[in-house]
Amino acid sequence: MTESVKISELTQALNLEIVTGNEIALEKEIFTGDISRPGLELTGYFSYYSNDRLQLFGNKEITFAERMMPEERLMILRRLCSDDTPGFIVSRGLEIPDEMIQACEEHQIPILRSKVSTSRLLGEISSYLEEQLATRTSIHGVLVDVYGLGVLIQGDSGIGKSETALELIKRGHRLIADDRVDVFKKDDLTLVGEPPKILEHLIEIRGIGIIDVMNLFGASAVRGSMQVQLVVYLENWAKDKQYDRLGSADESIYIGSVQIPQIKIPVKTGRNVAIIIEVAAMNHRARSMGFDATKSFEQRLSRLIEENSAE
């Protein structure tokens, strides 16, 4: 199914003023995050007019249009209006020409207005549309905000992912999504996760059932979306398996073509996995800031070997 955003949703999200547009016009759908500034079109050049984009009018476009004769202005604005045009947006709270209102009402195209500058408005609209129109992929796991770091907890079924997340919530961290996480690329290096609408604020605990985290722990215990920055994979402890004890084995996985660091934590009776994940999140942040305990240990070990060799 093709992703789309309704004009009414954009209006509410960016707090835009509705200058003109009935209920039918506000239900028009936007299918692309690209925005058009119709400067050339105002001169009469329509060879490459992108009629399926939002048409953004800033100070330059409005000023140019005001210099036209009313008849010419109405003719050009009517050509800008097509069945595929989702809407016109005017920045800086500028006065809107009567001919624009007339042309848009004839074609049931909404006109929106914002008080912010054109460049800022362009960025806000593009960012919102790209996020909303991005292709979602569902992955299995629990996404938690741990000290401001998006930690995706994965592992075999029944390993205790939701129980670990519940312990983290009790320790003051925040739930984004349990069991199923919808992820999308915000850009080439950024992966964002969010809960499916049906599972928002909910977590399933075997033996208890489904609980509403927001209702039990308050609004501060949940979050709507979060960048996925670290993957923690929980696996059953195997006695004959060798585990990384120094943290020198850097691992990562690709989710939606974005590379995400991954650590594997063996789970057995007596291990407090929630505390381990907390420390893993803090250690990951410290390493990203240049403080690597593993490298410090290896440097100390190298110096000690050199000193002993010199004696």
Binding residues for Mg(2+): 162, 204
Q: Does residue 245 carry a catalytic annotation?
A: yes
Q: Which of 197, 206, 241, 245 is catalytic?
A: 245
Q: How far apart are CA 35 and CA 15, in angstroms?
A: 18
Q: Does residue 292 carry a catalytic annotation?
A: no
Annotation: binding site: 155-162, 204
Residue among 222, 218, 234, 216 nearest 163 (CA): 234
Q: How far apart are CA 114 and CA 91, in angstroms?
A: 5
Q: Does residue 264 carry a catalytic annotation?
A: no
Q: Does residue 179 carry a catalytic annotation?
A: yes
Q: Which of 28, 53, 161, 185 is catalytic?
A: 161
Q: Which of 60, 115, 120, 140 is catalytic?
A: 140
Q: Which of 52, 78, 107, 179 is catalytic?
A: 179
Indicate the Cα dihedral angle 6, 9, 15, 21, nearest 10°: 40
Annotation: binding site for ATP: 155-162
Could you give the residue numbers annotated as active site? 140, 161, 179, 245
